[in-house]
Amino acid sequence: MFKFVLIGFLFTFCALSGIAQNKTINPGAVWPDDRGQHIQAHGGGIIKIKDTYYWYGEERAQGLDPHYRYVSCYSSRDLTNWKFRGDVVKMSDPENLGEGWILERPKVYYNKLTKKYVMYFHLDTRNYQYARVGIAVSDKPDGNYTFVKSFRPLDHQSRDIGQFIDDDGSAYLIFEDRALGFHIVKLADDYMSVAKEMSLVNMPLEGGAVVHYKGLYYAIGSALTGWAPNPNKYATATSLAGPWSEFKDIAPPETKTYHSQSTMMLKVVGTKDTTVIFMADQWKPNAQWDSRYLWMPLEIGEGKLWLNEPKPWKINVKTGEHKIAEKL
């Protein structure tokens, strides 16, 4: 009896408070968090700790204090419903970078040796000439993160960064270097610096992301067109050290990746299947708080990778299966 009363109460509470469960992932739509507010995790990245996914990204809500840069953190067990865990970074200009200084594309790694959560981000001046990575650390996934230092990885310019954790747990940073292409580098054991270069791919790509799927590495990225979308491309290699194949379109080029830019590929390995999610941003440079997310399961395998036309879809993180809406 008590159970029924409780369920009834919860139902009424949710209905009255307007808290609704997201049932599908709706690419390009407003994505409400547990407070009913559009998720603010742009240029983001995701890690999984036990059964919980943590999504970090640029917090670009309206009304933030312009002296600070903010990184938000959300958590979820189903990749569909996200709880706002707070702004885990609220940082003032750490290195006298001046007005309009930039903190973009935060990515968090959990280091088992030091038991620290290590955040990398793109740190820059307004004109993007500083071109460094910054590091901030925390004892907990949901912060707060304390700024430690900035540097140029292996002395190279670094703008957009991406994150890749291989199946053996090794952690890699992907970074765009206008002069040379994009680098994939292995992090040092404590993740506080870069240990060595795996690949320098001689291709001007940013928004870099890598996934390891059935014995092949797939790397994707976008052309250098600022906030404007372009046809994102992919290449494959049997080793992170390359050689990498030629780059091909991931979607019909005229759609400009369905008006989006890559930020990560997330592999969801379940009991029955594996889904690789293409995570991308649909930027609105004049209304960044309203920038949207395009997440879609990729068609991937045997050296091919393809992004289908975005549609609402569901993922079951336990089985690893997904369903596109028209097949629900």
Contact 183, 153 (CB under 8 A): yes
Q: Binding of ligand DGJ at residue 226 (CB under 6 A)?
A: yes
User: How many Cβ atoms are within 10 Å of 140's Cβ, its own excluded?
Assistant: 12
Contact pick of 60, 105, 107, 256 for ligand DGJ (by CB under 6 A): 105
Q: Is the Cβ of residue 101 or residue 313 nearer to ligand DGJ in the bound state? A: 101
What mask of x and - would describe binding to ligand DGJ in positions 43 to 82, judged by CB under 6 A? x---------------------------------------
Q: Is the Cβ of residue 11 or residue 227 nearer to ligand DGJ in the bound state? A: 227
Contact pick of 87, 142, 177, 206 for ligand DGJ (by CB under 6 A): 206
**Smallest gap, in angstroms, from Cβ of residue 272 to ligand DGJ?**
35
Q: Is the Cβ of residue 39 or residue 280 nearer to ligand DGJ in the bound state? A: 280
Q: Is the Cβ of residue 33 or residue 206 nearer to ligand DGJ in the bound state? A: 206
**Smallest gap, in angstroms, from Cβ of residue 105 to ligand DGJ?**
6
DSSP state of 155: G
Which residues, other chains included, contact 224 with Cβ-Cβ below 8 Å and sequence gap of 6+? 176, 178, 204, 205, 206
Output the six-digit token pair for 114.
Answer: 């030091």
Element housing 321 (H / E): strand 321-324
| Amino acid identity at 306 | W
What mask of x and - would describe binding to ligand DGJ in positions 160 to 199, judged by CB under 6 A? x---------------------------------------
Contact 153, 133 (CB under 8 A): yes
DSSP string computed for 161-207: EEEEE-TT--EEEEEEETTTEEEEEEEPTTSSSEEEEEEEE-S--EE
Residue 114 — φ and ψ, nearest 5°? -95, -10
**Smallest gap, in angstroms, from Cβ of residue 55 to ligand DGJ?**
17
**Smallest gap, in angstroms, from Cβ of residue 324 to ligand DGJ?**
27
Q: Binding of ligand DGJ at residue 207 (CB under 6 A)?
A: yes
Contact 116, 139 (CB under 8 A): yes
- Taking the C-alpha atoms of residue 186 and residue 193, their distance in angstroms, rounded to an integer, is 9
**Smallest gap, in angstroms, from Cβ of residue 228 to ligand DGJ?**
9
**Smallest gap, in angstroms, from Cβ of residue 285 to ligand DGJ?**
7
Contact 151, 193 (CB under 8 A): yes
Contact 320, 273 (CB under 8 A): yes
Q: Binding of ligand DGJ at residue 87 (CB under 6 A)?
A: no
The closest of 315, 323, 309 to 27, measured between CA atoms, is: 309
Q: Is the Cβ of residue 280 or residue 317 nearer to ligand DGJ in the bound state? A: 280
Residues binding ligand DGJ: number (CB under 6 A): 9
Residue nearest to ligand DGJ (CB): 226
Binding interface with ligand DGJ (CB under 6 A)? 43, 104-105, 160, 206-207, 226-227, 261
